Amino acid sequence: MRRLARAGWVGLFPLVFGFVHLQGCGSETDPGGTPPDPTATVPTGTGSVPPPTEPPVDLRKERPWEVISEKGETYLSDVFYADAAQNEQVMPYAIDGHVMIDRLIYPTLGNPNLYVKGDPKDSFMIVSRIEDAVLRHLSPVDKGPKAGTQLHTVQLTETNASGVFFLLVPRAQRAQNTEVKTPALYGAGTGVIRIKPSEILMHDEPADMPAALKARKTYRFVFRQDVMAAVASGLYDVRMEVRADNALLQVGGKPVYEYQYNAVRVFDRETEEYTALNVTDTQVSIGDLYDGKTLAKLDDFVYFVNTTPNTNVRQAAFITFNGDLHNGGSPGGFRQRYVATTYAEEAKVIVAALKNLTIPIFLTVGNHDGYVATGHVPSAVRGVDTAVGTSLEEVVGEASPKAWPDFRFADYQAYLNRTKDALGGLHRDIYTGRFARTKGDTFTTGWKELPVADRNMFLYDGLQQWQKTYGPLYASWKFGKNRYVNMNSFEMRQHRRSGWGMYTVNYGGALGETQVDWIDRELVRAQDAGDDVIMLAHHDPRGGHNGEDFGYLFEQLEYQSVQQSAFNYIIGEVINPVVCKLPWWALSSNKQEACLHDGLQEWMRPDAEFDCLPAEKGADGKCMANLFTGPNAKPLQFSNLELMDRIAKNPQVRTLIFGHTHYNSYEMWQSGDNLLPGKLPIDDVSVKKFATYELENPVRGHALLERQRPYEASSAAFADKTMSAPRRTTYDPNEVDERPIDRAVREYAAAYERAIAGKHRTLAGNGSPRELSILRLTCNADLTSQKYQGRAMYGFTVLHVSKKTDARGYTSPQVNGLSFFINAGDDRFDFIRTVALDRMVKVTPKDGKNPVGSLFQ
């Protein structure tokens, strides 16, 4: 199989050796500039809770920013996800100058459509965000509201020469038709099919809709059974063109056309029993240090899926994914040019691989997909780059087109000056884009725009690269009797996802309140339809560490730059593997694994500044501190408990599938089983163990040390608990004081006990037998410590969805079997075994009778 050209060690490995001798750590403070924005890590406001004023919300109602299919799937939870206003950053997200997602926002490579010709209730839909100038020559007419909806029917004046053209392109005709920059050919002899919409619908624009979101209108182009009858079953690219007199319309000097690879699979009929593939944790990286372990293994997977004679693989309906598509850098990738361009360059090779699949893939976000950088360059990196004449200004200047409107480097430099003491960025209640999102069914209640002067000006955000390349951050789809709820479990605010390259301090799970609200509505629709629910995420909301100590969550820390400890990690892990160094007081670890291995963090604690109810926030939008301290302290909002509460009490949820830890495991819980403990142990040994977890990652250890011993303990900055410039040229774990971490663990245990008191944690069947299968599936990358007969257990899994007749009386098909495949090299995978899942027998991960646990070591 032909491989893509690999980036060499240039800009990577030489820096490893250079770092060992360089003095410097973190970003040096800049003289002058405006005072830093307050970035306290604890709530600072005070006040009392006002009475709630929000009106009741209809859980079944489609929100103005959503697209719900006629079958109740959430095609789009946010139609603005790809708008320029929601993806502002310094570095481009275009791939070779081409933005993968702009106007055509559904279906996409990572959020495809499954259309069934034999289902008269099914329809195919294309959703686009289109400005008035694009359709003006077609004289659009609003025919009025469509009954029972918030949508308007629209009529366009189209001819064979002018109109909005939608083309379905078979993969065999891709080169000649999907990617062309001129009008594509269609009709007899081309293999390309033009489909004309049965109905064009336009979203309403409520009076409270922010002006920034009105730059384009949202259109749904619906294709019903009569239109799709002539389309043969198969996998198609979708191409949208706007033509004027047989030429592509030009708007702003650019032709209006867009395409999405593998965007729709057409089935003749839908089967209730089928196979699907699961691949996860590809962690694609560029550069010789990691691409042989990551990108090459993704190439292996694509080639094998396309060529194997194994019918369970070749005839799979679709592919599921559980996060960490990207790596977000390489262990040796510190140089400014490498870091600044990492996500776009990784996206380029990922798209080149995934578009060759013969089966559609639904992509899920993981932590490696969503790292953020402000642009504060670690001083050691700056020293190396300066020596060879490279600067951040030069790197940014080379990048085009900029994703920040009216970008000027002077403005960016002013932002860096402003945040010199807050290396992760200003603390803002923003996940992506420019709007603070809260639960609600109107723009007034759910969207608050931050002024430009109050925003972070990030160098890049991996989640924004995702939105402009693959699709939305969470969605759902149905097939047969199953509903797949595809979650984004790395929904932390941007400043909490900050780091430099792949080096960061927070990489466990989190959900925002708007996503939890969306999950509520997904479960209501599933209950209405009688769907069996399969939930997909990267992280396990039970928390813990390495599949143990459920209930323990990791603190969200302040990023404090990359220190010599990270460089030592490279030397230790790449050149001479050693056990991670820990403080003298920590419990010893016998884990010969990377100090930065993501499985060390599963889920994050609430963000004490923002994770509280709207009524518990002050005028500054932050949680009122006095409500969450003292003997009568209220609990913050634990996102994992919110999710587990819904899983426990909704019997339609029967299967959870996670990634993240790079190993296979299986659990089967039964009605009445507790999914989480009611309290955490706080004996001295347990507390010491939890404290050890907090700093096994040296970048986190350094952040904890800097919080304990800031640069100038007597300064006003320290008194205000704002971050200071790191003072250490290296990280010595023995400098970390155990006592503050011990105290924080005990305080967390008390907060957890308060928070879980009102939540469902026992698996409920509502009067009928119920089980919950929890699957963790191994990585596709060569980054696992799990073994199968002495071989590294990385590969993929076949999910067997079938009906089962047993005493439960449950008639819907479920994931009742797993077929494991292990990478054998040279584009080959060896079949290991198919394991049947007995849904009536309780199985824990370490049971001797566990059929998956007994396979792997």
Tens-place pLDDT, residues 722-749: 333 444 556 677 788 888 888 889 999 9
The residues near 848 (Cβ < 8 Å, ≥ 6 apart) are: 854
Q: Are 293 and 250 found together in one domain?
A: no
The residues near 804 (Cβ < 8 Å, ≥ 6 apart) are: 810, 814, 816, 839
Q: Is residue 78 part of a domain?
A: no
268, 288, 317: which is the final residue of a domain? 268
The pTM (predicted TM-score) of the whole model is: 0.90
Q: Is residue 707 part of a domain?
A: no
Q: How many residues does the chain have?
A: 857
Residue 425: band (very low, low, confident or very high) from pLDDT cuts 50, 70, 90 = very high
> What's the confidence (pLDDT) of residue 590?
43
Q: Are 254 and 290 found together in one domain?
A: no
Q: Are 771 and 673 found together in one domain?
A: yes
Max intra-chain CA distance, the chain = 79
Q: Are 260 and 308 found together in one domain?
A: no
> What's the confidence (pLDDT) of residue 19?
31
Closest CA to 212 of 377, 386, 443, 454: 443
Share of the chain above pLDDT 90, in %: 73
244, 268, 292: which is the final residue of a domain? 268
Q: Is residue 737 part of a domain?
A: no
Q: Are 329 and 263 found together in one domain?
A: no
Residue 334: band (very low, low, confident or very high) from pLDDT cuts 50, 70, 90 = confident
Q: Are 214 and 293 found together in one domain?
A: no
Q: Is residue 90 part of a domain?
A: no
Q: Are 682 and 538 found together in one domain?
A: yes
Q: Are 225 and 309 found together in one domain?
A: no
By the 8 A CB rule, do 773 and 667 touch? Answer: yes
Q: Is residue 730 part of a domain?
A: no
243, 268, 293: which is the final residue of a domain? 268
> What's the confidence (pLDDT) of residue 379?
81
Residue 755: band (very low, low, confident or very high) from pLDDT cuts 50, 70, 90 = very high
Q: Are 148 and 230 found together in one domain?
A: yes
Please tell me whether residue 407 adopts helix, strand or coil conformation.
Answer: coil
Q: Are 285 and 226 found together in one domain?
A: no
CATH of the domain at 819: 3.60.21.10
Mean per-residue pLDDT for 479-499?
97
Report residue 68 as tokens. Answer: 């719900």
Secondary structure letter of residue 686 according to DSSP: H
Residue pLDDT, tens place only, 673-695 = 999 999 999 999 988 888 888 77
> What's the confidence (pLDDT) of residue 531?
96
> What's the confidence (pLDDT) of residue 644?
97
Closest CA to 460 of 386, 392, 508: 392
Q: Is residue 767 part of a domain?
A: yes
The residues near 157 (Cβ < 8 Å, ≥ 6 apart) are: 138, 139
The answer to whether residue 293 scores a pLDDT higher than 90 is yes
Domain count within the chain: 2
Q: Is residue 561 part of a domain?
A: no
Q: Is the peptide bond before 401 cis (omega within 30 degrees of 0)?
A: yes
Question: Alpha carbon of 44 to those of 48, 389, 617, 784: distances in Å?
Answer: 13, 44, 10, 42
> What's the confidence (pLDDT) of residue 56?
54
Q: Are 260 and 314 found together in one domain?
A: no
- When mean pLDDT is compared over 53-67, 624-638, 794-808, the highest value belongs to 794-808
> What's the confidence (pLDDT) of residue 566?
52
Q: Are 372 and 484 found together in one domain?
A: yes
Give the residue numbers spanning the domain of 620: 1-65+275-554+600-689+761-857
Q: Is residue 165 part of a domain?
A: yes
Which range has the worst mean pLDDT, 319-328, 382-391, 816-825? 382-391
Which amino acid appears at position 322 of this protein?
N
Residue pLDDT, tens place only, 180-233 = 999 999 999 999 999 999 999 999 999 999 999 999 999 999 999 999 999 999
